[in-house]
Amino acid sequence: MKKLRHLKPAGEAVFKDSYTTKARELLEAYSPGMQREIAVVGVPLSKASISHSGASFAPTTIREALQSYTTYSGEEGMEIADRIIDFGDIYMNPTDVTQNQERITEGLTDVFATETAGNWMILGGDHSISYSSIKAFAEKKTVGVIQFDAHHDLRNTEDGGPTNGTPFRRLLEDSIIRGENLTQIGIRDFTNSGAYDEYAKEQSVTVYTMADVDRLSLNQILEIEIQRLAKVVDVIYLSVDMDVLDQAFAPGCPAIGPGGMDSKTLLKGILFASHYEKVQAMDIVEIDPTIDFRNMTSRIAAYVMLQFIKGKRMDDGGGTQKGL
Protein backbone atom coordinates (compact mmCIF):
# COMPACT_ATOMS: atom_id res chain seq x y z
CA MET A 1 0.00 0.00 0.00
CA LYS A 2 1.17 3.43 -0.99
CA LYS A 3 1.76 5.88 1.81
CA LEU A 4 -0.13 9.17 1.55
CA ARG A 5 2.29 12.07 1.33
CA HIS A 6 2.44 14.69 4.12
CA LEU A 7 -0.51 13.46 6.15
CA LYS A 8 -0.40 13.41 9.94
CA PRO A 9 -3.06 12.54 12.52
CA ALA A 10 -5.55 15.32 13.25
CA GLY A 11 -4.53 17.61 16.05
CA GLU A 12 -0.98 16.35 16.34
CA ALA A 13 1.64 19.06 16.98
CA VAL A 14 2.79 20.60 13.72
CA PHE A 15 6.43 20.81 14.69
CA LYS A 16 8.59 18.05 16.11
CA ASP A 17 12.28 18.51 16.89
CA SER A 18 14.00 15.12 16.53
CA TYR A 19 16.38 15.84 19.37
CA THR A 20 13.85 17.04 21.91
CA THR A 21 11.37 15.14 24.05
CA LYS A 22 8.42 17.02 25.49
CA ALA A 23 7.50 16.26 29.11
CA ARG A 24 4.00 15.40 28.02
CA GLU A 25 5.38 12.46 26.08
CA LEU A 26 6.33 10.92 29.42
CA LEU A 27 2.67 10.20 30.13
CA GLU A 28 1.75 6.63 29.34
CA ALA A 29 -1.77 5.31 29.79
CA TYR A 30 -2.00 2.75 32.56
CA SER A 31 -2.30 -0.93 31.85
CA PRO A 32 -2.03 -3.71 34.43
CA GLY A 33 1.43 -5.01 35.24
CA MET A 34 3.23 -1.72 34.73
CA GLN A 35 5.87 -0.69 37.23
CA ARG A 36 7.16 2.89 37.32
CA GLU A 37 8.53 5.36 39.81
CA ILE A 38 5.74 7.88 39.32
CA ALA A 39 2.06 7.83 38.42
CA VAL A 40 -0.54 10.53 37.89
CA VAL A 41 -4.33 10.64 38.31
CA GLY A 42 -6.74 13.46 37.49
CA VAL A 43 -9.64 14.37 39.77
CA PRO A 44 -11.85 16.85 37.88
CA LEU A 45 -14.19 17.90 40.68
CA SER A 46 -14.98 21.54 41.34
CA LYS A 47 -18.71 21.56 42.07
CA ALA A 48 -17.75 21.18 45.73
CA SER A 49 -16.33 24.70 45.71
CA ILE A 50 -17.90 27.44 47.78
CA SER A 51 -17.44 29.91 44.95
CA HIS A 52 -17.95 29.28 41.22
CA SER A 53 -14.95 27.26 40.05
CA GLY A 54 -13.80 25.64 36.83
CA ALA A 55 -11.02 23.72 38.55
CA SER A 56 -12.47 20.60 36.96
CA PHE A 57 -10.69 21.62 33.77
CA ALA A 58 -7.25 21.67 35.40
CA PRO A 59 -6.29 18.00 34.99
CA THR A 60 -6.53 18.60 31.25
CA THR A 61 -4.75 21.96 31.15
CA ILE A 62 -1.94 20.81 33.44
CA ARG A 63 -1.28 17.78 31.23
CA GLU A 64 -1.31 20.10 28.21
CA ALA A 65 1.14 22.42 29.94
CA LEU A 66 3.62 19.53 30.12
CA GLN A 67 3.83 20.01 26.36
CA SER A 68 5.62 23.31 27.07
CA TYR A 69 8.43 21.57 28.93
CA THR A 70 11.14 19.16 27.90
CA THR A 71 12.30 16.12 29.83
CA TYR A 72 15.75 17.55 30.39
CA SER A 73 17.02 19.37 33.47
CA GLY A 74 20.02 21.44 32.48
CA GLU A 75 20.58 22.46 36.08
CA GLU A 76 21.34 18.84 36.92
CA GLY A 77 22.37 17.56 33.53
CA MET A 78 19.67 14.97 34.00
CA GLU A 79 17.27 13.43 31.51
CA ILE A 80 13.93 12.19 32.83
CA ALA A 81 13.77 9.04 30.78
CA ASP A 82 11.27 6.97 32.73
CA ARG A 83 7.67 7.11 31.67
CA ILE A 84 4.92 8.26 34.02
CA ILE A 85 1.85 6.11 34.37
CA ASP A 86 -1.29 8.10 33.62
CA PHE A 87 -4.37 6.52 35.19
CA GLY A 88 -6.64 9.05 33.52
CA ASP A 89 -9.33 10.89 35.44
CA ILE A 90 -11.89 9.83 38.00
CA TYR A 91 -15.34 9.94 36.41
CA MET A 92 -17.59 12.60 37.92
CA ASN A 93 -21.38 12.45 38.02
CA PRO A 94 -22.88 15.81 36.95
CA THR A 95 -25.25 16.21 39.88
CA ASP A 96 -24.12 14.22 42.90
CA VAL A 97 -21.23 15.97 44.59
CA THR A 98 -20.98 13.86 47.73
CA GLN A 99 -21.18 10.63 45.75
CA ASN A 100 -18.37 12.00 43.61
CA GLN A 101 -16.26 12.46 46.70
CA GLU A 102 -16.78 8.83 47.67
CA ARG A 103 -16.09 7.82 44.11
CA ILE A 104 -12.70 9.58 44.30
CA THR A 105 -11.77 7.61 47.38
CA GLU A 106 -12.87 4.37 45.75
CA GLY A 107 -11.08 5.08 42.50
CA LEU A 108 -7.86 6.17 44.18
CA THR A 109 -8.00 3.21 46.56
CA ASP A 110 -7.99 0.97 43.51
CA VAL A 111 -5.27 3.01 41.87
CA PHE A 112 -2.98 2.97 44.89
CA ALA A 113 -3.68 -0.76 45.35
CA THR A 114 -2.11 -1.50 41.99
CA GLU A 115 1.23 -0.59 43.56
CA THR A 116 2.48 0.17 40.09
CA ALA A 117 4.24 3.32 41.28
CA GLY A 118 6.23 4.41 44.27
CA ASN A 119 5.08 8.01 44.09
CA TRP A 120 1.79 9.61 43.16
CA MET A 121 0.70 12.91 41.71
CA ILE A 122 -2.99 13.80 42.01
CA LEU A 123 -4.30 16.64 39.84
CA GLY A 124 -7.39 18.46 41.12
CA GLY A 125 -9.96 19.80 41.04
CA ASP A 126 -10.67 21.95 44.03
CA HIS A 127 -9.22 21.36 47.47
CA SER A 128 -12.16 19.20 48.60
CA ILE A 129 -10.57 16.34 46.66
CA SER A 130 -7.70 16.17 49.13
CA TYR A 131 -10.01 14.68 51.73
CA SER A 132 -10.96 11.85 49.41
CA SER A 133 -7.45 11.39 48.14
CA ILE A 134 -5.74 11.35 51.53
CA LYS A 135 -8.45 9.04 52.87
CA ALA A 136 -7.57 6.53 50.16
CA PHE A 137 -3.86 7.08 50.69
CA ALA A 138 -4.16 6.59 54.45
CA GLU A 139 -5.99 3.31 54.33
CA LYS A 140 -2.89 1.20 55.03
CA LYS A 141 -0.36 3.77 56.21
CA THR A 142 0.01 6.58 58.73
CA VAL A 143 0.08 9.76 56.71
CA GLY A 144 1.65 13.11 57.44
CA VAL A 145 0.45 16.04 55.36
CA ILE A 146 2.25 19.23 54.38
CA GLN A 147 -0.30 21.66 53.06
CA PHE A 148 0.75 24.71 51.01
CA ASP A 149 -2.17 27.09 51.29
CA ALA A 150 -3.24 30.63 52.08
CA HIS A 151 -6.15 29.11 54.01
CA HIS A 152 -6.55 26.62 56.85
CA ASP A 153 -9.43 24.78 55.13
CA LEU A 154 -10.69 23.84 58.54
CA ARG A 155 -14.22 25.20 58.16
CA ASN A 156 -17.18 23.56 59.84
CA THR A 157 -19.21 21.35 57.50
CA GLU A 158 -22.64 22.40 58.73
CA ASP A 159 -22.66 25.61 56.74
CA GLY A 160 -22.18 24.15 53.29
CA GLY A 161 -21.35 20.49 53.37
CA PRO A 162 -18.02 19.01 52.35
CA THR A 163 -16.73 21.99 50.36
CA ASN A 164 -13.23 23.02 49.35
CA GLY A 165 -13.06 24.90 52.65
CA THR A 166 -13.33 21.77 54.79
CA PRO A 167 -10.97 18.94 53.70
CA PHE A 168 -8.54 19.13 56.60
CA ARG A 169 -11.31 19.60 59.18
CA ARG A 170 -12.92 16.44 57.88
CA LEU A 171 -9.63 14.51 57.84
CA LEU A 172 -9.07 15.45 61.48
CA GLU A 173 -12.65 14.79 62.56
CA ASP A 174 -12.71 11.44 60.82
CA SER A 175 -9.33 10.59 62.41
CA ILE A 176 -7.79 9.95 59.04
CA ILE A 177 -4.84 12.11 59.98
CA ARG A 178 -3.80 13.48 63.34
CA GLY A 179 -3.39 17.21 63.96
CA GLU A 180 0.22 16.65 64.98
CA ASN A 181 0.82 15.22 61.52
CA LEU A 182 -0.56 18.19 59.61
CA THR A 183 1.66 21.14 58.71
CA GLN A 184 0.21 24.21 57.02
CA ILE A 185 2.55 26.58 55.21
CA GLY A 186 1.78 29.99 53.76
CA ILE A 187 -1.30 30.85 55.82
CA ARG A 188 -2.12 34.45 55.03
CA ASP A 189 -3.32 37.38 57.08
CA PHE A 190 -6.96 38.49 56.87
CA THR A 191 -7.71 35.31 54.95
CA ASN A 192 -8.89 33.04 57.76
CA SER A 193 -11.00 33.47 60.86
CA GLY A 194 -9.85 33.44 64.43
CA ALA A 195 -12.13 30.50 65.18
CA TYR A 196 -10.27 28.25 62.77
CA ASP A 197 -6.90 29.53 63.85
CA GLU A 198 -7.96 28.50 67.31
CA TYR A 199 -9.17 25.14 66.06
CA ALA A 200 -5.82 24.52 64.39
CA LYS A 201 -4.09 25.19 67.66
CA GLU A 202 -6.45 22.92 69.59
CA GLN A 203 -5.77 20.14 67.13
CA SER A 204 -1.99 20.67 67.37
CA VAL A 205 -1.75 21.53 63.71
CA THR A 206 1.59 23.17 62.92
CA VAL A 207 1.06 26.50 61.14
CA TYR A 208 3.61 28.65 59.30
CA THR A 209 2.24 31.97 58.14
CA MET A 210 3.56 33.90 55.14
CA ALA A 211 5.51 36.07 57.58
CA ASP A 212 7.13 32.88 58.86
CA VAL A 213 7.98 31.86 55.30
CA ASP A 214 9.47 35.26 54.58
CA ARG A 215 11.53 35.16 57.76
CA LEU A 216 12.68 31.53 57.89
CA SER A 217 12.75 30.55 54.19
CA LEU A 218 10.57 27.78 52.84
CA ASN A 219 13.30 25.18 52.57
CA GLN A 220 14.27 25.60 56.18
CA ILE A 221 10.66 25.11 57.24
CA LEU A 222 10.38 22.05 55.05
CA GLU A 223 13.53 20.55 56.47
CA ILE A 224 12.27 20.96 60.02
CA GLU A 225 8.83 19.64 59.28
CA ILE A 226 9.75 16.71 57.07
CA GLN A 227 12.32 15.50 59.59
CA ARG A 228 9.78 15.88 62.38
CA LEU A 229 7.05 14.06 60.52
CA ALA A 230 9.33 11.38 59.14
CA LYS A 231 9.82 10.07 62.65
CA VAL A 232 6.12 9.52 63.28
CA VAL A 233 4.46 8.71 59.97
CA ASP A 234 4.89 6.12 57.26
CA VAL A 235 4.53 8.50 54.37
CA ILE A 236 4.23 12.22 53.69
CA TYR A 237 1.67 13.72 51.35
CA LEU A 238 2.13 17.22 49.93
CA SER A 239 -1.08 19.10 49.28
CA VAL A 240 -0.35 22.07 47.05
CA ASP A 241 -3.13 24.64 46.91
CA MET A 242 -1.86 27.02 44.24
CA ASP A 243 -3.36 30.00 46.01
CA VAL A 244 -0.43 29.86 48.41
CA LEU A 245 1.18 31.90 45.62
CA ASP A 246 0.77 35.64 45.26
CA GLN A 247 -1.85 36.69 42.71
CA ALA A 248 0.87 38.16 40.52
CA PHE A 249 2.28 34.66 40.03
CA ALA A 250 -0.84 32.50 40.07
CA PRO A 251 -3.60 34.60 38.51
CA GLY A 252 -5.80 31.56 37.86
CA CYS A 253 -6.80 30.55 41.37
CA PRO A 254 -10.35 31.27 42.51
CA ALA A 255 -9.15 32.90 45.75
CA ILE A 256 -6.38 35.18 44.54
CA GLY A 257 -4.75 37.90 46.63
CA PRO A 258 -1.52 39.77 47.28
CA GLY A 259 0.98 38.96 50.00
CA GLY A 260 1.67 35.38 48.94
CA MET A 261 4.66 33.30 47.89
CA ASP A 262 6.47 33.78 44.58
CA SER A 263 6.57 30.82 42.22
CA LYS A 264 10.33 30.29 42.34
CA THR A 265 10.20 29.73 46.09
CA LEU A 266 7.48 27.12 45.71
CA LEU A 267 9.32 25.36 42.88
CA LYS A 268 12.50 25.15 44.93
CA GLY A 269 10.52 23.92 47.94
CA ILE A 270 8.87 21.09 46.03
CA LEU A 271 12.25 19.95 44.72
CA PHE A 272 13.68 20.06 48.21
CA ALA A 273 10.80 18.11 49.74
CA SER A 274 10.71 15.53 47.01
CA HIS A 275 14.24 14.38 47.86
CA TYR A 276 12.92 12.80 51.01
CA GLU A 277 11.94 9.20 50.44
CA LYS A 278 8.92 9.39 52.70
CA VAL A 279 7.40 12.11 50.57
CA GLN A 280 5.44 9.83 48.29
CA ALA A 281 2.39 11.74 47.14
CA MET A 282 1.41 15.23 46.06
CA ASP A 283 -1.80 16.82 44.95
CA ILE A 284 -2.10 20.15 43.08
CA VAL A 285 -5.44 21.90 43.48
CA GLU A 286 -7.43 25.11 43.07
CA ILE A 287 -6.44 26.08 39.53
CA ASP A 288 -9.37 27.37 37.51
CA PRO A 289 -8.24 27.56 33.88
CA THR A 290 -11.36 29.48 32.83
CA ILE A 291 -10.20 32.58 34.71
CA ASP A 292 -6.44 32.20 34.31
CA PHE A 293 -4.25 34.30 32.00
CA ARG A 294 -2.62 32.20 29.25
CA ASN A 295 -2.73 29.09 31.49
CA MET A 296 0.05 30.58 33.62
CA THR A 297 -1.11 28.77 36.72
CA SER A 298 -1.33 25.41 34.98
CA ARG A 299 2.17 26.03 33.65
CA ILE A 300 3.42 26.41 37.20
CA ALA A 301 1.60 23.21 38.15
CA ALA A 302 3.35 21.31 35.37
CA TYR A 303 6.69 22.66 36.57
CA VAL A 304 5.80 21.61 40.13
CA MET A 305 5.23 18.09 38.78
CA LEU A 306 8.64 18.12 37.10
CA GLN A 307 10.34 19.31 40.28
CA PHE A 308 8.69 16.51 42.19
CA ILE A 309 9.88 13.97 39.62
CA LYS A 310 13.35 15.46 39.51
CA GLY A 311 13.67 15.32 43.27
CA LYS A 312 12.81 11.66 43.20
CA ARG A 313 15.56 11.00 40.68
CA MET A 314 18.41 12.80 42.43
CA ASP A 315 20.59 10.84 44.83
CA ASP A 316 21.56 13.48 47.37
CA GLY A 317 19.57 14.47 50.38
CA GLY A 318 18.15 17.86 49.57
CA GLY A 319 20.86 20.25 50.63
CA THR A 320 23.36 20.03 47.84
CA GLN A 321 21.41 20.23 44.62
CA LYS A 322 22.82 22.80 42.25
CA GLY A 323 19.70 24.93 42.21
CA LEU A 324 16.15 25.35 41.09
Binding-site residue set for Mn(2+)? 127, 149, 151, 153, 241, 243
Contacting range for a copy of itself; rule: CB under 8 A; set: 137-145, 228-236, 251-259, 278-286: 251-259
Applying CB under 8 A, does 210 fall inside the site for a copy of itself? yes
Applying CB under 5 A, does 241 fall inside the site for Ca ion? yes
Prior bond of 125 cis (ω within 30°): yes
Q: How many CB atoms lie within 10 A of CB 55?
A: 31
Contacting range for a copy of itself; rule: CB under 8 A; set: 141-149, 170-178, 279-287, 289-297: 289-297
Q: Please, are residues 44 and 89 in contact by the beta-carbon 8 Å criterion?
A: yes
Applying CB under 8 A, does 308 fall inside the site for a copy of itself? no
Applying CB under 8 A, does 185 fall inside the site for a copy of itself? no
Helix (H) or strand (E) holding 209: strand 206-209
Parallel, antiparallel, or unpaired: how do β-strands 72-73 and 78-79 relate? antiparallel
Minimum separation from the CB atom of position 191 to Ca ion (A) = 8
Minimum separation from the CB atom of position 251 to a copy of itself (A) = 6
Applying CB under 5 A, does 149 fall inside the site for Ca ion? yes
> What is the C-alpha separation between 62 and 33, in angstroms, rounded?
26
Q: Which amino acid is at 218?
A: L
> What is the C-alpha separation between 314 and 306, in angstroms, rounded?
12
Nearer Cβ to Ca ion (72/318): 72
Q: Which residue of 35, 75, 141, 204 would you call a contact of a copy of itself, by CB under 8 A?
A: 75
Q: Which residues are annotated as a binding site?
A: 127, 149, 151, 153, 241, 243
Q: Residue 173: which of Ca ion, a copy of itself, none does it interact with, CB under 5 to 8 A by kind? A: none
> What is the C-alpha separation between 275 and 119, in angstroms, rounded?
12
